[in-house]
Structure 1
Amino acid sequence: MRSGVLEPQLIEENRDVRRLAKRFDVDYREFCGGHDNVHWRDGLVAGAAALLGTAAAH
């Protein structure tokens, strides 16, 4: 899960989800950016890889 600190309408909600998900394995990262495609690209690929596991990368 990634959140841009330049997204004031979403950052606090994402932080709340992270706090509530303490019993789950959550990869939460904040970055200095907003809600644009350049930040989604890397996060989407990393999220898919995390869901599918390392076997899917080979």
Structure 2
Amino acid sequence: MAELEKIVYISIILIVIISVKERLKPALSLLLLPAGLILSLTKLVPSIDMSPEMIFYVVYL
């Protein structure tokens, strides 16, 4: 019985993850764009400050 409960819980979690992922795709792409820009700029220009505060400021600017 415990194995059946585990299977049910895992399947419910997978269904939730899949449904949430489909709804968040536009938001994820908007979040990945600034992250990619920050990463590419820091690799091209090593003198850019890479502190977490600076990344937070640039992403939420």
TM-score relative to the length of structure 1: 0.30
Which of structures 1 and 2 has the larger relative contact order (alpha carbons within 8 angstroms, sep 6+)?
1
**Structure (1 or 2) with the greater helix fraction:** 2
